[in-house]
Amino acid sequence: MTDAQMPLTVCFQDDALVVVDKPCGMLVHRSDIDAQETTFLLQTLRNQLNQSLFPVHRLDKATSGLVIFAFNRDVARTLSQAFEHGEVTKTYEAFVRGHTPQRLHIDHALRDEVDSKGRKIKNGTKREASTELRTVTSWTVPEPVDRYPEARYSHVQLQPITGRYRQLRRHVKHISHPILGDVRYGKGTHNRFIAERLGTRRLWLHASQVVFRHPLTAEPLPISSAIPDDFLRMRAWLDDVSSG
């Protein structure tokens, strides 16, 4: 059975909504950017649950983790408004290049890169964007990479305060700590080094937790996903090879 055929992991479900753990490499829904793709989270989950679904938000194709769908339009509208008003707290796990500060507030405006239909644009409007970063662990790998005699990496947690297109990936690039495996905003030498050592090619970014008020009861609803197995392997490898 292929990954696309494996049942999706449902992290929360009731009569109003469902939260699912999206695999890395799967689109949430059809997009002009990846017109050749034939497998989508929306369709796969709809078939698995045998229910109509209404998307609330999305993740990049390369990002894994929590995605929320509603079972009716009213709930979808309420949840979408909560996202727009900054009433949803999202936490992401990421492995990045370099040793990051223990805590950092990133305030850096970003230009629109796509229009409302996901089509690429040039010289888009510049919009306010901010992200909170917290370092979990940092490592030094005593192997030469690029022009340096050793490699430095960190496991960070990221919380986007705003919701701009590819905000986290662009913000950590801005502070010179790009996410490992990021073919657009990262560094190829480090991406290849990690892929060769781990035997895994992916964007090392995972949406691990979401907290919002339930659209019907208004009660706080914290939902978490399990840390992916490849993230656990990455941590174990870094612990093993790190010089401290």
Residues known to be catalytic: 60
Whole-angstrom distance, CA of residue 73 vs CA of residue 204: 33
Half-sphere exposure of 175 (CA within 13 A, CB side): 24
β partners of residue 207: 65, 92
Helix residue ranges, H only, 89-166? none
> Which helix (H) or strand (E) is 214 found in, with range?
none
Phi, psi of 105 (to 5 degrees): -100, 120
Whole-angstrom distance, CA of residue 42 vs CA of residue 142: 43
Whole-angstrom distance, CA of residue 206 vs CA of residue 225: 9
